[in-house]
């Protein structure tokens, strides 16, 4: 039986990519009984007599899955943030990083529109980029996204399934359009009152780009920590995760505990102040979360 990957799901049909061909499939009734929904990104076994009448027989084990956007087996997330218009936000970036890390997906940070910065602001952005590189993240600084400026980020998509996410109004649709102009995705102006852009994508689709697949999705529609527990949060802050083994107490939350290696590192300015403040803020947010039934 052939194996392939679901690249689009629409109106009960699943479009499976196999050897460069796309076959329209339905899911077997057994998935409904088992309460399994095939997801875009799923690797599947299917059978088909032609390109319009296939059936998905088996869904292979997923290495990860996201709820919003509904997609599985993601290799990496390209987090696109602008240096200006809207202004770069470390708390929003850290929120995204926590969500991505908690799903075992590799994040890559892209800060765009650096060509619009004054020299003074450029230094600030470069310092932030350096902070995140020291933590261990790949950070790419790019000018305003256009087809000519795309070469810098093109190689990261090779042989990977990538979700593009990040700040609203930073040009995620423009980036996808630059990657593949025939998409002609609709991009709306930034709402100046909210500093947010509007995105018109309604369903998730994986688009072939070079040797990789890129998800056409507005990214994470919820930025709340709905399932993350307080004890898990420090694992999503890489610099804290590494240090936590040196804390005196197992399960140290790095807040008020004595002999805490994370607090020591923060006091010695080895962890940027804003990172530790965001960590404390997120801890409070998770603690205040109303229970879900």
CATH class of 71-216: alpha beta
The whole-number pLDDT of residue 161 equals: 95
Separation of first and last alpha carbons in the chain: 41
CATH topology of domain 3-61: OB fold (Dihydrolipoamide Acetyltransferase, E2P) (2.40.50)
Return the domain boundaries, the chain.
3-61, 71-216, 230-288
Q: Which two tokens stand for residue 116?
A: 């619009």
Check if the beta carbon of residue 73 is closer than 8 Å to that of residue 41.
yes
Q: What is the CA angle 288-66-293, rounded to 5? A: 40
The whole-number pLDDT of residue 154 equals: 82
70's CB contacts (< 8 A; 6+ apart) are: 9, 37, 39, 40, 204
Calpha distance 69→128 (Å, rounded): 28
Calpha distance 139→262 (Å, rounded): 24
Q: HEC string of the chain? A: CCEEEEEEEECCEEEEEECCEEEEEEECHHHHHCCCCCCECCEEEEEECCCCCEEEEEECCCCCEECCCCEECCCEEEEEEECCCCCCCHHHHHHHHHHHHHCCCEEEEEEECHHHCCHHHHHHHHHHHHHHHHHCCEEEECCCCCCHHHCCCHHHHCCCEEEEEECCCCCHHHHHHHHCHHHCCCECCCECCCCECCECCCCCEEEEECCEEEEECCCCCCCCCCCCCHHHHHHHCHHHHHHHHHCCCCCCCCCCCCCCHHHHHHHCCCCCHHHHHHHHHHHHHHHHCCCCC
Calpha distance 282→234 (Å, rounded): 10
The whole-number pLDDT of residue 190 equals: 34
Q: What is the CA angle 86-89-92, rounded to 5? A: 115
Per-residue pLDDT of the chain (293 residues; tens, 9 = 90+): 899 999 999 988 999 999 989 999 999 887 888 888 999 999 999 999 898 889 999 999 999 998 878 899 999 999 989 899 889 999 999 999 999 999 999 999 999 889 999 999 999 999 999 999 999 999 999 887 655 556 778 889 999 999 988 877 666 667 777 777 766 555 443 333 333 344 444 578 898 887 899 987 666 767 888 889 999 999 999 999 999 999 999 899 999 999 999 999 999 999 999 999 999 999 999 999 877 65
Superfamily of domain 230-288: Probable gtpase engc; domain 3 (1.10.40.50)
**Closest by CA position to 99, among listed 284, 289, 266, 282:** 282
């Amino acid at each position: 039986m052939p194996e392939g990957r679901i690249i689009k799901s629409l109106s009960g049909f699943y479009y499976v990519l196999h050897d460069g061909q796309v076959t329209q499939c339905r899911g077997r009734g057994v998935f409904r009984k088992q309460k399994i929904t095939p997801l875009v990104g799923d690797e599947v076994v299917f059978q088909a007599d032609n390109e319009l009448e296939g059936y998905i027989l088996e869904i292979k084990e997923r290495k990860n899955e996201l709820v919003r956007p509904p997609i599985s087996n993601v290799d990496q997330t390209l987090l696109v943030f602008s240096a200006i218009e809207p202004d770069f936000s470390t708390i929003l970036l850290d929120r995204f990083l926590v969500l991505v890390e908690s799903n075992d997906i590799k994040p890559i940070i892209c800060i765009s529109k650096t060509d619009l910065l004054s020299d003074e602001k450029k230094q600030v952005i470069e310092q932030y980029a350096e902070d995140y590189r020291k933590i261990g993240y790949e950070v790419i600084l790019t000018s305003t996204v256009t087809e000519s400026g795309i070469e810098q980020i093109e190689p990261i998509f090779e042989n990977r399934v990538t979700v593009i996410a990040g700040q609203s109004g930073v040009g995620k649709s423009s980036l996808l359009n630059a990657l593949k102009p025939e998409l002609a995705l609709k991009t709306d102006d930034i709402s100046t009152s909210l500093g947010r852009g509007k995105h018109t994508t309604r369903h998730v689709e994986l688009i072939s780009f070079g040797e990789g697949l890129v998800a056409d999705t507005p990214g994470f529609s919820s930025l709340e920590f709905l399932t993350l527990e307080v004890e898990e949060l420090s694992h999503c802050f890489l610099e804290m995760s590494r240090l936590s083994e040196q804390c005196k107490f197992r399960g140290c939350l790095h807040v008020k505990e004595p002999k805490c290696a994370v607090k020591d590192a923060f006091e010695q300015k080895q962890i940027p102040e804003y990172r530790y403040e965001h960590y404390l803020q997120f801890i409070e947010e998770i603690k205040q979360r109303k229970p879900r039934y």
